[in-house]
Amino acid sequence: MRQLALKSTLFAAALAAALVPAAQAVPVGRAAPAAAPAVHAVPPGQVYFWPGPGQMGDGGAWAYKPPGYREADPRIKRHAYSFDSHASVTVYAISHQGGGGCLYRAILPDDYDNNWTAWATKFDGVSDNTMGCEPG
């Protein structure tokens, strides 16, 4: 009987050791370790914009789905530091300028930028056309 108890204890210890890596998974709502790339499931037909580089940031992504124009969510407007497009068409980031003018930047299908500093502070919204804006 003593030998059976010892085998049961060894089996339980081996099972616990095998399960430890699974138990150390990143908790929901926490950032992945720095070595792991950010992976987001952007649905087909949509473009996601994040308020931080690396597809991160408080509040998560803001989504656009063509057609038409949509003004960016206040936490993303003039603060879009990364994006990932799974739209099937080219869409256009729009920046409204003083005096009524505007600029656009084309975002091609399957385009992404994890550090979009060139447009992060210009981004006001996104459209399925250039809206008569100048390239910027």
Q: What is the pLDDT of residues 33-89, one digit of tens each?
A: 333 334 558 999 999 999 999 999 999 999 999 999 999 999 999 999 999 999 999
pLDDT at 40: 58
pLDDT for 11 equals 40
**pLDDT at residue 23 tops 60:** no
Say what the pLDDT of residue 29 is: 38
- Higher-confidence position of 89 and 99: 89
- The pTM for the full model equals 0.70
Q: What is the pLDDT of residues 8-17, one digit of tens each?
A: 443 444 434 4
Residue 41, pLDDT score? 83
3-state secondary structure the chain: CHHHHHHHHHHHHHHHHHHHHHHCCCCCCCCCCCCCCCCCCCCCCCEEEECECCCECCCCCEEECCCCCEECCCCCCCCCCEEEECCCCCEEEEEECHHHCEEEEEECCCCEECCCCCCCCCCCEEECCCCCCEEC
Residue 105: pLDDT over 50: yes
